Amino acid sequence: MNKHVIINDVGPRDGLQNQPRVLEIHQRVELINALVAAGVPEIEVGAFVSPKAVPAMAGTDKVFAQLKGDTVFSALIPNMRGYQSAKEAGVPLSSLVVAVSNTMNEKNIGMNTDTALVACQGVFAQAQQDNSEVQAYVATAWECPFEGEVSQADVIDVSARLLAIGAKRIVVADTIGAANPANVTSLMNALVEKFGAERFACHFHDTRAMGLANVYAALTAGVRRFDASIAGLGGCPFAPGASGNVATEDVVMMVEQMGFVTGIDMKKLLTASDLAIQLTGTAKGGKAKLWIEKYLS
Ligand code: COA
Ligand code: ZN
């Protein structure tokens, strides 16, 4: 069994994108550097999207220019323009986003699913010429906030199409935190059986307190890559009940206690978590934080 779990901290992007407080470039860099210091192997550092759509992600090129080290830094891109900007900034890994449902794609990137897939094909082709890496998020993989429950067959179909046109990897995302361990097991088993575990990562939100249980379900299906957000950062302050990604410190604690290796220094991760709380004023910190602090001291 593969004992390594790779954590991608998406706090600096998914976490910061809809905070009431828009952080300064140097504060975003400071948060990323704290994650680097903790040994987090992969970090999503921002997004090359319209600053009108997501003001908090403006200046991601400036953030990236100040980063150093061996960490795999990635950025979210919605279209070819985003890809070009990421490439010019020198970002080594870009992440396209395609939701399974038409309505979510229209709202998020201004295209329906078929048009989005055609646009993705153009980006993958360009990336291949440029020798740069592009992965794809399959968003709202279990439930769409506008269309409701999403069919497993549709997720498999969108994933198959993305892999066929050149996605390096698929990040299966529970964008609104509506999945449960039973339907995570079912979908991830189906995807892993069809395409292999190494092609997938999972991205869970903790809206209904099922984030960790869903990570466990995906682990048992063979997935070894997970997005998580430092201090559980994220969630829309204007949508009561919405909450952030599953907290990085909780995921690291759980998988390490299960015998997996992440290479992350928990003490330094908690320092990054404290910083995320201080910078945003909204992040809660992982659920196990009090216990971890006591255990480490
Ligand atoms: N980066 C920066 N600006 C971009 C851009 C990019 N990748 N792609 C398009 N734009 C600009 C356009 O030039 C245009 O600018 P203008 O208003 O000054 O003329 C504006 O964004 C709108 O573009 P348009 O092509 O009319 O499409 P749209 O209004 O449907 O917006 C996106 C499409 C993709 C640009 C916008 O929806 C977006 O940035 N979404 C990001 C979604 C996101 O980050 N979601 C969270 C992660 S899941
Ligand atoms: Zn998310």
**Whether the predicted pLDDT of 238 surpasses 50:** no
User: What's the CA gap between 48 and 214, in Å, rounded?
Assistant: 29
- The stretch 170-184 carries a mean pLDDT of 96
Contact 26, 246 (CB under 8 A): no
The confidence band for 276, taking pLDDT boundaries of 50, 70 and 90, is: very high
Contact 38, 265 (CB under 8 A): yes
User: 0.85 exceeded by the pTM?
Assistant: yes
Mutate to test the pocket of ligand 1, among 49, 96, 102, 144 (most ligand atoms within 8 A of CB): 49
The confidence band for 240, taking pLDDT boundaries of 50, 70 and 90, is: very low
**Whether the predicted pLDDT of 37 surpasses 60:** yes
User: What's the CA gap between 270 and 198, in Å, rounded?
Assistant: 29
Q: Give CA torsion, residues 3, 203, 43, 125, to 10 deg.
A: 100
Q: Which residue has the higher pLDDT, 112 or 241?
A: 112
**Whether the predicted pLDDT of 237 surpasses 50:** no
Can you tell me which atom of ligand 1 is nearest the CA of 77? 7
Per-residue model confidence as pLDDT tens digits over 200-236: 999 999 999 999 999 999 999 999 999 999 999 986 5
- The stretch 163-183 carries a mean pLDDT of 96
Q: What percent of the chain has pLDDT over 90?
A: 90
Please indicate whether residue 33, judged by its CB atom, sits closer than 6 Å to ligand 1: no
Contact 185, 215 (CB under 8 A): no
**Whether the predicted pLDDT of 284 surpasses 60:** yes
**In the prediction, which pLDDT does 273 show?**
97
**In the prediction, which pLDDT does 188 show?**
98
**Whether the predicted pLDDT of 1 surpasses 70:** no
The confidence band for 282, taking pLDDT boundaries of 50, 70 and 90, is: confident
Contact 85, 104 (CB under 8 A): no
Please indicate whether residue 79, judged by its CB atom, sits closer than 6 Å to ligand 1: yes
Q: Decide if 144 is catalytic.
A: no
Residue nearest to atom 27 of ligand 1 (CA): 110
Least confident span in 8-12, 14-18, 72-76, 276-280? 14-18
Can you tell me which atom of ligand 1 is nearest the CA of 110? 30
Please indicate whether residue 234, judged by its CB atom, sits closer than 6 Å to ligand 1: no
The confidence band for 241, taking pLDDT boundaries of 50, 70 and 90, is: low
C-alpha 297 – ligand 2 centre gap (Å) = 32
Per-residue model confidence as pLDDT tens digits over 117-144: 999 999 999 999 999 999 999 999 999 9
User: What's the CA gap between 287 and 267, in Å, rounded?
Assistant: 15
Q: Is the backbone of residue 232 left (phi > 0), alpha (psi -120 to 50) or beta?
A: left
